[in-house]
Chain A
Amino acid sequence: MNPEVSRLLIYVVAAIAFVALNAAMLVWMERKVAGHMQGRIGPKEVGPFGLLQSFADGIKLMTKQLIVPEGADVPLFKVAPMLVMIPAVMCFVTIPFSETVAARNINVGLLLLFAIASVNILALLLGGWASNNKYAVISAARAVSQNVAYEIPMLITAITVVMFTRTMNLHDIVMQQAGGFWNWNILPFTKNPAMALVMPISFLIFFTCSMAETNRAPFDLGEAESELVAGFHTEYAGMGFGLFFLGEYANVFIGCSLAVILFLGGWQCPFGLAPGIHWFLIKVYSLIFVVMWARWTFPRTTIYGLLNLSWKILIPISLFNLVLTGALIKVF
């Protein structure tokens, strides 16, 4: 077989396997983190430290009957969960885990990643709409307006990074940050000290937006269980729900890994020693821990509060940030 094709196949299989394994581990991690924050110990019965709990849950979900509600738009109802998974897996093509571990070194990787990731919201809309459930429709409408609102500041802050690094190639962006944390884009002291003032703001906006984009608490308006029961996946049983769930965790991983690549030096070591995939994973999972921390600490916002936060605060700040970045790059 053509080595290029076999390489691609291996990466596709690896990406799917990673998405599933990652989701299983994140569910376990989420439950452990939540448990310890709440004075409990979390899962502990299935396997050592409850590590196999998610696999047991997965088996349970897979053996359940897929119920299609009466009056649902059957083809769309069945397509929606797959449509969540496909962009999530495809996004992994662009993510460089380390200097050598990457499916494709694409010149416009950042653009491609954003383009693919925005398909995700279509799936939520279709799933909510096809369910023939009022809660699901409200939730789908919420999810769309939320995603549109947060995609804008997220893209604008991504542009500031692109302006600064002069490339959309994720591999090159990381390579530029080699050497130590003083070279990272979040605090680029060596490259352009003035930028160290604006980059932390960019990072905060980007991270907040990626939390909102992935529908994570405190921004989980799409599945606000106290108002909308379970949101857009109210009517999904078994693995239909399971795929939405997998997709959510895959997106959390993608959001955090993008933040790590753009701002926190990707696979580079903070002290310039032994860069590699382990550093990438450590950083990503630390960020994911922060995401979980927020979820188990804060109550939920309201949809209007959330949209106001984006349109009235984050977008003006990120636009101002963009202009400032341009000026600082020109001057220094």
Chain B
Amino acid sequence: MNHLASDMHKETFVLNMGPQHPATHGVLRVKLVLDGEYIVEAEPVLGYIHRMHEKMGENRTWAQFMPNTGRLDYLSALSYNHGYVAAVERAAGIEVPERAEVIRVMTVELNRISSHLLWFGAYLLDLGGFTPLLYAFDDREQILDLLESVTGSRLTYCYFRFGGLYNDIDDDFIAGLKGFVERLRSRLPMYHTLVTKNIILMKRLKDIGVVSADMCRRYGATGPVARGSGIDYDVRKNEPYSVYPEFDFDVPVYHEGDSMARYMVRMDEIEQSLRIIEQAIAKLPEGPIMAEKAPKIIKPAKGDYYHAVEAARGSFGVRLVSDGTNTPYRLKLRSPSFCNLSLFAEASQGMLVADAVAFMGSLDLVIPEIDR
């Protein structure tokens, strides 16, 4: 009898979640070995949208790779622009004017908010709530309009240049930005009453998908995933770059490590980004937006350079190996979603499929950035 019972327990089957599945938000495929609705084993299978960005970098000039950086994480493209530009500037020793740096911070933070808003909506969609998605998109639309007016595009930005910016902001942008900050401040309490305090949401997120700080360290998870597990690490604070040290903002850290903690980290980050934007508006200096001495053709000295920035999903690092020519010898991109996804297999063991979907959503994966 016992033998039979244990045999029955082994009756598992394989379910391919993806590459086309509503919950994977892209062409991620997760091979699930299920026992009933419990996950015995989960194996993320990558590569369905691999575009060889790193190899493309080796075949193009330093400047020609710029548009590629906007196509890694299409939801917070400006952070990736920033990471690459900052790495090349470090390599070539280019000084960036103050005004350009402040505008960079302003637009990157704006982009971070839009990314978190989209995550918020899409995550609620994973959990079966449709309405918050449209509320979040309504607010996000304002950001896209603002960024479109300065960068010229709405999603895959290519706004920064080595030594500055492509385009200066004007008074209309500042006025629109002020209006937006005010608008989002008034909308956030509504998000919290409609969604955060909802009992069904709490039940689905509390104590689900617990990731320990140790697990985060082993897999190299960063960003809201690590900060939701009690690791107080934010590149903006720990390895300050650009003009971030001049701004006053907090890094939200929660210690529970569950989906709710990651949710709260992102919601708090929206507020912190609003604070940064307000300060940036207040201190925006006059001056040029391009370094006057920036060379037209970049040829960094021989060497190995690394620069990391805090993107919406975690630490994005660019490692450049230059041999002194006008193309990189090696261009390595360290993307946060890849590391954040890699802990999924271990953390999802024994989880229900429904909870695994809630857990995967809370990691905030962007598939083109994982595959690159």
B27 CB → nearest A CB, Å = 15
Residue A286, interface by CB 8 Å: no
Residue A40, interface by CB 8 Å: yes
Residue B37, interface by CB 8 Å: yes
- B198 and A39 contact, CB distance less than 8 A: no
- B15 and A299 contact, CB distance less than 8 A: no
With A134-B13, A303-B37 already in contact, the answer to whether A39 and B135 are too (CB < 8 A) is yes
- Which of B69-77, B122-130, B153-161 lies at the binding interface? B122-130
With a CB–CB cut-off of 8 A, which chain B residues contact A297?
129, 131, 194
With A38-B134, A225-B22 already in contact, the answer to whether A299 and B198 are too (CB < 8 A) is yes
- B22 and A302 contact, CB distance less than 8 A: no
Residue B23, interface by CB 8 Å: yes
Q: Bound state CA distance, A297 and B354, in angstroms?
A: 19
Q: Bound state CA distance, A224 and B271, in angstroms?
A: 32
Partner of B357, one of A37, A227, A298: A227
With a CB–CB cut-off of 8 A, which chain B residues contact A302?
203-204, 352, 354-355
- B353 and A227 contact, CB distance less than 8 A: yes
Residue B168, interface by CB 8 Å: no
Q: Bound state CA distance, A229 and B22, in angstroms?
A: 6
- A300 and B200 contact, CB distance less than 8 A: yes
A35 CB → nearest B CB, Å = 9
Q: Bound state CA distance, A38 and B126, in angstroms?
A: 17
Taken residue by residue from 267 to 302, chain A's Cβ proximity to chain B (1 for < 8 Å, 0 otherwise) reads as: 000000000000000000000000000001111111
With a CB–CB cut-off of 8 A, which chain B residues contact A218?
128, 200
- B128 and A299 contact, CB distance less than 8 A: yes
Partner of B200, one of A135, A225, A298, A304: A298
Residue B302, interface by CB 8 Å: no
- A38 and B13 contact, CB distance less than 8 A: no
With a CB–CB cut-off of 8 A, which chain B residues contact A225?
22, 128
Q: Bound state CA distance, A38 and B138, in angstroms?
A: 9
- B204 and A299 contact, CB distance less than 8 A: yes
Q: Bound state CA distance, A34 and B200, in angstroms?
A: 20
Most chain A C-beta atoms within 10 Å of own C-beta, residue among B127, B135, B354, B355: B354
Q: Which residue of A lies closest to B125 (CB)?
A: A226
**Please, could you name 18 A-B residue pairs with CB atoms under 8 Å apart, sorted by A?**
A38-B130, A38-B135, A39-B135, A138-B37, A220-B128, A226-B125, A226-B357, A227-B353, A297-B194, A298-B198, A299-B129, A299-B195, A299-B200, A299-B201, A300-B200, A302-B354, A303-B352, A305-B204
- A303 and B354 contact, CB distance less than 8 A: yes
Residue B21, interface by CB 8 Å: yes
Taken residue by residue from 179 to 211, chain B's Cβ proximity to chain A (1 for < 8 Å, 0 otherwise) reads as: 000000000000000110010110110000000
Q: Which residue of B lies closest to A142 (CB)?
A: B37
Q: Which residue of B lies closest to A221 (CB)?
A: B354
Taken residue by residue from 108 to 125, chain B's Cβ proximity to chain A (1 for < 8 Å, 0 otherwise) reads as: 000000000000000011
- B352 and A299 contact, CB distance less than 8 A: no
With A226-B23, A301-B204 already in contact, the answer to whether A37 and B131 are too (CB < 8 A) is yes
Taken residue by residue from 345 to 372, chain B's Cβ proximity to chain A (1 for < 8 Å, 0 otherwise) reads as: 0000000111101000000000000000
Residue A315, interface by CB 8 Å: no
Taken residue by residue from 123 to 143, chain A's Cβ proximity to chain B (1 for < 8 Å, 0 otherwise) reads as: 000000000001100100000
Q: Bound state CA distance, A228 and B353, in angstroms?
A: 9
Residue A239, interface by CB 8 Å: no
- A224 and B354 contact, CB distance less than 8 A: yes
Q: Bound state CA distance, A303 and B204, in angstroms?
A: 11
Q: Considering only CB atoms and an 8 Å cut-off, how many residues of chain A contact the other chain?
A: 26
Q: Which residue of B lies closest to A297 (CB)?
A: B131
B201 CB → nearest A CB, Å = 5
Interface residues on B, range: 20 to 34
Q: Which residues of A contact B (CB under 8 A)?
A: 34, 37-40, 134-135, 138, 217-218, 220, 224-227, 229, 296-305
Q: Which of B18-35 contact A (CB under 8 A)?
A: 21-23
With a CB–CB cut-off of 8 A, which chain B residues contact A296?
130-131
Q: Bound state CA distance, A278 and B98, in angstroms?
A: 71
Taken residue by residue from 88 to 104, chain B's Cβ proximity to chain A (1 for < 8 Å, 0 otherwise) reads as: 00000000000000000
Q: Bound state CA distance, A332 and B7, in angstroms?
A: 58
- B128 and A226 contact, CB distance less than 8 A: yes
Q: Bound state CA distance, A51 and B76, in angstroms?
A: 40
Q: 7 shortest A-B CB distances, which residue pairs?
A: A300-B128, A299-B129, A38-B134, A299-B127, A226-B23, A302-B354, A226-B126
With a CB–CB cut-off of 8 A, which chain A residues contact B128?
217-218, 220, 224-226, 298-300
With a CB–CB cut-off of 8 A, which chain B residues contact A305?
200, 203-204
Q: Bound state CA distance, A248 and B13, in angstroms?
A: 30
Partner of A301, one of B134, B194, B203: B203
Q: Bound state CA distance, A122 and B204, in angstroms?
A: 29
- A299 and B354 contact, CB distance less than 8 A: no
- B127 and A226 contact, CB distance less than 8 A: yes
B88 CB → nearest A CB, Å = 40
Q: Which of B122-180 contact A (CB under 8 A)?
A: 124-131, 134-135, 138
Q: Which residue of A lies closest to B130 (CB)?
A: A296
With a CB–CB cut-off of 8 A, which chain A residues contact B138?
39
- B134 and A134 contact, CB distance less than 8 A: no
Partner of A300, one of B21, B23, B129, B352: B129
With a CB–CB cut-off of 8 A, which chain A residues contact B124?
299
Most chain B C-beta atoms within 10 Å of own C-beta, residue among A226, A296, A304: A226
With a CB–CB cut-off of 8 A, which chain B residues contact A40?
134
